[in-house]
Amino acid sequence: METWDAIRARRNVRQYSDGPISPGDLDRILEAGRRSPSSMNEQRWDFVVCTERALLQELAKVWRSAGHVATSAATIAVIAQETDDATTRESIEFDLGQATVSMMLAAADLGIGSGHAAVQDQDLARRLLGHPDDHRCALLIALGYPADRPLRPIERPSRRPFDQVVHRDRW
């Protein structure tokens, strides 16, 4: 897919067909995360990629709106170190957001749907994923081929109007 098409086609996909994601495609999505820009190139992220059905079903319990993780073909857990410093935390969150959207666009480019899931139950996430105590799971990215319709550019996305969002030269 063209980059511009992938940007316009990406949407949250929460219902997946049974088709597996090939290991090569999954690695390409992860590689997009690894290549993402970060503040001072600190790369303060780790990715745990999960494909075992029983694990995915348990992982789906970390948040009430994470149910789609259970039926995903694979889910990437985005992990980062905990910090008490608010500025550092903000900076890490920003970088994680960039890595997340890079991976989602790489997925869209392959026709693979992706769906965010927040993580509320950090203890459960740690028990399942095994990351160290001073790390937390910031987000889950569920992946799978869309069950409803293939990804294609969305003509009228559910977004604020362009002229309301964009300010030229001055607010």
Ligand X SMILES: Cc1cc2nc3c(=O)[nH]c(=O)nc-3n(C[C@H](O)[C@H](O)[C@H](O)COP(=O)(O)O)c2cc1C
Give me the residues that bind ligand X (CB under 6 A), please. 11-12, 14, 63, 65-66, 115-118
Residue number, 12 or 57, with CB nearest to ligand X: 12
Two tokens at 113?
Answer: 């749907």
Min dist. Cβ of residue 24 to ligand X (A): 25
Beta bridge partners of 80: 136
Min dist. Cβ of residue 158 to ligand X (A): 7
Contact predicate 72/16, CB 8 Å: yes
Residue number, 21 or 151, with CB nearest to ligand X: 151
Q: What is the DSSP letter of 118?
A: -
Min dist. Cβ of residue 77 to ligand X (A): 13
Contact predicate 135/76, CB 8 Å: no
Min dist. Cβ of residue 101 to ligand X (A): 8
Compute φ and ψ for 81, nearest 5 degrees.
Answer: -70, 140
Q: Which residue has the tokens 């889910």?
A: 75
Residue number, 82 or 93, with CB nearest to ligand X: 93
Residue number, 26 or 151, with CB nearest to ligand X: 151
Min dist. Cβ of residue 142 to ligand X (A): 9
Residue number, 8 or 135, with CB nearest to ligand X: 8
How far apart CA 42 and CA 30 sit, in angstroms, is: 17
Beta bridge partners of 135: 81
Interhelix angle 86-109/23-34, rounded to 10 degrees, is 140
